[in-house]
Amino acid sequence: MAREIVLDTETTGFDPKTGDRLIEVGCIEIEDLLPTGRTFHRFINPERLIPPDAIKVHGITDDKVKDAPKFHEVVDDLMEFLGDAPLIAHNANFDRNFIDFEIGRIGRKPPPQDRWIDTLALAQKRFPGMANSLDALCKRYKISLVERTLHGALID
């Protein structure tokens, strides 16, 4: 069976090198292109305040993550869930940069870059010149957006 992990993150901003941090990680296990029902989901205390502009995107507030574990407290569970499966993400460079940064901060080795599959890049090849955001792709493939009012690591 071919095992893959669909992964998404939510963050305090756009760049971990300027102090932005992870605040949510969500993963769905896929085998032979079908969800298995196994998921990994954690809110993470970013050890900093969440800017209002970020809250507008995902709705995650400081109160929601103040008692959440810090990244170093969830990394073992995350890495175990990921295993050695390919990692699928929309705009994968964004998620990979944050995952790699957080793992590097604690002196661990991140998953190799060649394990990441970027669905945005795939969509841009298949639909050049068209909108290829998650919302646009959901509409194109007739996937309901009813439950997706804000970004969320599992709902995206």
Which tens digit of pLDDT belongs to each residue from 2-43?
Answer: 999 999 999 999 999 999 999 999 999 999 999 999 999 999
In this structure, the number of other CB atoms found within 10 A of the CB of residue 56 comes to 10
Of 112, 105, 117, the residue nearest 84 (C-alpha): 112
Instruction: Retrieve residue 99's tokens.
Output: 């995952």
The dotted CATH code for 3-118 is 3.30.420.10
Domain assignments of the chain as residue spans, ordered by start: 3-118
> With contact defined as beta carbons under 8 Å apart, do 111 and 78 qualify?
no
Which tens digit of pLDDT belongs to each residue from 115-130?
Answer: 999 999 999 999 999 9
Catalytic residue check, 151: yes
Give the pTM: 0.92
Catalytic choice (41, 58, 90, 151): 151
Of 54, 50, 28, 51, the residue nearest 41 (C-alpha): 28
